[in-house]
Every structure is written in C-alpha cells, then in structure tokens.
Amino acid sequence: MKNRLRVLRAEHNMSQADLADKLDVSRQTVNAIETGRYDPSLPLAFRIASLFGRQIEEIFVPNGSKGM
C-alpha cells in the first residue's frame, strides 16, 4: 500500500519521532509505514487520518491504484 504520510508529516513540520509520540507508536513503526514496508492496522490508519484531518483514502492508496 502506498501512502502520503511523509508528505503530510513534512507539511506539518513534524519529525518521525513527533508523529510517533502523537500516535503512541515507535519511530520505527512510523518509518516502516512511510517506506511502505508495513501496512498499519485500521485503528492506526484512522488515528493517522484523524491527526492530519484527512480521510483514510486520501492518505493510503492500494498498490496499482492511480492518484499517488
């Protein structure tokens, strides 16, 4: 799954550690999500979407989909 997490994080001037603190996960987890090596659970995806005030589908897009 592709995602715009790195872009959104940069838009909000947040480091991976800042985002990890806000999401209550480790920095390694944020990094793994950003690099596409780990797909977050639905609750975590909702927390991410809520944090940035976006819909989940605006942040996460399945592989093969257009628009990212």
Partner 1 sequence: MNPEYQEPLVNAENLRFSAFATLFWATLGTKTPAERRYKTRTCLAAAVLICWVVFAFLVHFRPKPMIFVITDLAWGLAITYIAWELRRYLFTLDELARRLQFEAMAWTYLTGFVLAVWLGVLAPFSHTLMHWPFKQSLLLLSPFLYFLLEPVRAGWLYYLSRRY
Query: Which residue ranges make up the site for partner 1 (CB under 8 A)?
Result: 7, 10-13, 15-17, 24-29, 31-32, 38, 40-41, 44
CB of 6 to partner 1, least distance (A): 8
For partner 1, which is the closer residue by CB, 29 or 61?
29
Taking residue 11's Cβ as centre, other Cβ atoms within 10 Å add up to 10
For partner 1, which is the closer residue by CB, 17 or 62?
17
For partner 1, which is the closer residue by CB, 37 or 66?
37
| Long-range pairs for 32-41: beta carbons < 8 A, 24 or more residues apart | 33/3, 33/5, 34/3, 34/5, 34/6, 34/9, 36/1, 36/2, 36/3, 39/1
